[in-house]
Structure 1
């Protein structure tokens, strides 16, 4: 706390009242202007040009979302270099740079919505599929930031940040209604209203709902007469809805988010009864955020925020045995549930100093008012566990950006987090950024980050005995070269080395091919390179090509071969061209994924994913029509299963269609 007070005293010293005139004031620009200027916020908690940010960054616009027909955040991230995705017909799991276990609930990537933490407090994750808290149609842009950021944000910001910036009322100034249809009985509806008053009050309200009937699935692991010859019928249904309301007035911001998702599971997770469609999971989340930002004297900027979150998870799995292992002639529901409530407050002060310097300090406090988890058999009744806890944590951080000389920046940051569960964690970030000539930027980065054990991990008796609430930790080294090639063409080359201590209860033990319930503290080393060539003009042909290579050595998982469950070679092409005729734009997406290892040390085959989308918003006034065909080649795509499933591979959707119509008034 003394460090925080000293930093504030330094920040408010009146070294240069005229400094504000020397640096562009990005706060006066609209969201569209910021996109044109390639300005980001999420990397350093203040607006800066992407070339000065200490990270490898990709910005996805609303036009990108429409052009390529994305409907989930998992699809967006899976189109970007370094990312990979696993879907086990329950949840979408997103990894980055070879790291990220299937089944980890995306707790190693921090997700922000308008600067508000979306990762919930009980298991630390966020849904990346249809359960994502914001409808993608409401997103103005997405700042995708690779690399650790615990020096500013604390837990979960281990592998990267996904900072979602939603649309504002003035961008709509009316009502938008959307209806969509897709394969497997998919339906979507959305109604959005936005307006900015003459007094400057900006309001946006939106509600969405959707449903997919799903399809029957065949699994060879269950190919026996007593398990319906391996066919799981009518067990892939999914329903969801979400709500967003935001009000902006001068420096005041209020935002409310609600999300609900019900997913039936067709994979007989955790050895439950196969072909019993009563297996399901229900996720519900609420969040209320109130923020205030205003400029202060002497070139300072004050930002404060209060966030209240609630989370509820209910799962049901049918079993044919009781709690003592005795066979039953009926299905006994195994029910588990999580309940969480969390209150977070933070304060940030930023000051611009003479010579293009920036100094920022901040503090944060979080109270997990409720973190309850229980599990029980219904018939006969037996309670397996019932944990109740209410941990707290606080943090202080500091950030300094020094312009050593023209074309040379030094970015230094550090944050200390203190938890009532495991103690403290201090994480620095160092970046040296140079622009030796116009259009050429070189970045040398070093950072550390951590992930605090989630509610399930600190409640587990095994974790208590073996790990004593040990947090995950990572240290990273990265070199980035960014080169402007003219005509809106840019190239980026990155190389990285990660040293990672993993806390995981989903790996396999050394003697068995079945999942181990033992908690494992594993050490992992990852290294790789990434290349991207992007062209983003205002009109004409737009696109990007990327190639990623990673090699991840997990000491315990596969000490001899050292392979992770991410494909080591991935190439991607996104191409958007003017359509001509009845189409305004045509979007083509092509991906190649090399074989990847499964959790049982087998290999999932390589595959090609080709998606084609068309978009028209000028044929009929106020009407927009979009259509997509995903997996155009109908390639056989399978993702590795998690430790909760007997299936080693989970088949993904074949060729599918999507169609949506949007009316704006």
Structure 2
């Protein structure tokens, strides 16, 4: 244990030292920064400087109906986790099992299947761990939400552009720059369940053009209480769902070089009620620790050739301490997992040919450590009764990919590409993708796309070399209605095959339609509303998928109340009934509607913001669907009405 503590501290100190060392040597001219997503593709290449990675991403996203939540949205609606941000987006929903927050979308909502086959990127770094394939979107996430500039959701099969695992889409997180803060920023929050959060951030663009962002934060909560049936008597279990985390983050940019590093450690007590039994001693304790360092270099190699190259290192540790279930023997059970990986990629963009923008590159990843241990010991003496250690085979993965954006006429574009991926364990997969884009007028776009995306098994899954895959077809219609108004309709069909699962499962067919309308008024009022209808079922027996709602509806409204010094935000989210994990799937979790209200006071006190949020205003009683294999109950009851207040001050 002492050795593990030393390693954890060493990683934290290494990230900080690396950050300060990098910031101390930066000297040069000021770089030009442009948000490539806000530029039409025709204008993109006319911009003075856009990194190759941004151009390549826009080519990959061209056929998608991209959703974006900005830093201003995050403030206006009082979002506190990445899960809350994603839960506000078209077609997505989240659910919890008292330990983790899971993400679901496009008909895939299977409990215990982690991110729902949607990968999460932080400034281009793939943030899911390679042991379980979990993307951390709750309080276990690497990033403090205040550091996010915007979150992009790119739906659809995206393995060709973003590597394996992007079966249903990509969550792309772009973090802020130091110049966005231009201050020392402190924040303190307090809310229900005696929850506290603290943060200190420093952001600055130096005179030599170097841009630096450094942040440290922590979070502590007693967690909610749980009522269970003890022989017909309603009994409350207290103090067994506490949660705490610590986070460090650094981002430094000089010229066209960027160094990003992050570290987070979260502990959470899982109430023993969740296992269908209750013990009076310690709760089941989960610990997750994530860290990464990534260096990116962007360069113009020639007039018609750009390069974006990066190297990275990542790690993940998991701990599970179950003293409660072994309390009658004065013993405890511990599970530990460790994963480490590193990699590199080089991405090129060439504009040698008229009407063609070609993106191509190569990527290498080495998952060089996958360790798992299982320990039984005496809680009184510390004697170890049993210790089992297992080392999964490591894996090296190689990728080659290419994309071409072909402008046929001013109205027609053809976008096509593929990724070839192989591993030294005999895994191999080809992920092609193509799209036809028609723009009959300035305000209208139609996009028809198709492709195949794949996913490798994680270390914790069956060691198979057959990739999981999905075939996707989607039609998107986008229309702009005058000033600052736009609408979107998307129709899609997915076919999941060769599914990787702990139990044999048949193929899945998913179909759906999504509609969204967004409008901004000159007065500062912003509104966004969406509706999703989806149907997903197992092809073999036509059974509907567990936890997949047919209907999802969302409404967001943000409006100034007193100029921009006081702003109100209202969210209403409806989630339809979802089939429970039974043999016939006839029993369903009830539908529910959540209403959240946020008040944001801006600069009433100079240099400060004050946020007050009430979640689940009408105290709706609802539960999230869980995996039957881990619980005799089929629903986990969730929080009723809660509140959160946060004060943020800038020392300028």
Could you say which TM-score interval applies, normalised by the shorter chain? 0.7 to 0.9
**1:661 aligned to 2:637?**
no
Aligned to 1:280: 285
Aligned to 2:422: 418
Partner of 2:261: helix, strand, or coil?
A: strand
Aligned to 2:362: 363
**1:488 aligned to 2:479?**
no
Q: Offset at 1:628?
A: 0.5
**2:257, 2:417 → 1: CA distance?**
27
Aligned to 2:593: 608
Normalised TM-score (structure 2): 0.88
Return the match for 1:634 from 590, 614, 619: 619
**2:500, 2:581 → 1: CA distance?**
13
Q: 1:560 to 1:121 in 2, by over 3 A?
A: closer
**1:164 aligned to 2:173?**
yes
Q: Offset at 1:178?
A: 0.5
Alignment map for 1:87-486 (pairs within 5 Å): 87-106=96-115, 108-220=117-229, 223-224=230-231, 231-268=236-273, 274=279, 276-318=281-323, 320=325, 329-379=328-378, 381-383=385-387, 386-457=390-461, 463-464=462-463, 468-486=464-482
Aligned to 2:77: 68
Tell me the alpha carbon deviations over residues 23-45 of structure 1, each in whole angstroms, 9 at most, x when there is no partner: xxxx94544x9658799999985
Normalised TM-score (structure 1): 0.86
Return the match for 2:89 from 55, 73, 80: 80
**1:498 aligned to 2:505?**
no
**2:192, 2:100 → 1: CA distance?**
19
Q: 1:335 to 1:387 in 2, by over 3 A?
A: same
Q: Offset at 1:487?
A: 2.3
Answer whether contact 1:37 1:49 (CA < 8 A) is retained.
no
Unpaired stretches in structure 2, ≥5 consecutive residues: 1-30, 45-49, 379-383
**1:103, 1:502 → 2: CA distance?**
18
Q: 1:538 to 1:287 in 2, by over 3 A?
A: farther
**1:618 aligned to 2:627?**
no
Q: Offset at 1:68?
A: 0.5
**2:389, 2:111 → 1: CA distance?**
25
Partner of 2:606: helix, strand, or coil?
A: coil
Q: 1:353 to 1:270 in 2, by over 3 A?
A: farther
Greater displacement, 583-592 / 340-349: 583-592
Aligned to 2:557: 575
Q: Offset at 1:315?
A: 0.7
Greater displacement, 48-57 / 185-194: 48-57
Answer whether contact 2:574 2:593 (CA < 8 A) is retained.
yes
Number of equivalenced pairs: 606
Tell me the alpha carbon deviations over residues 554-588 of structure 1, each in whole angstroms, 9 at most, x when there is no partner: 246xx354244121101110001111279521100
Q: Offset at 1:364?
A: 0.6
Answer whether contact 1:628 1:659 (CA < 8 A) is retained.
yes
Q: Offset at 1:390?
A: 1.6
Partner of 2:86: helix, strand, or coil?
A: helix
CA RMSD of aligned residues (A): 2.5
Answer whether contact 1:477 1:497 (CA < 8 A) is retained.
yes
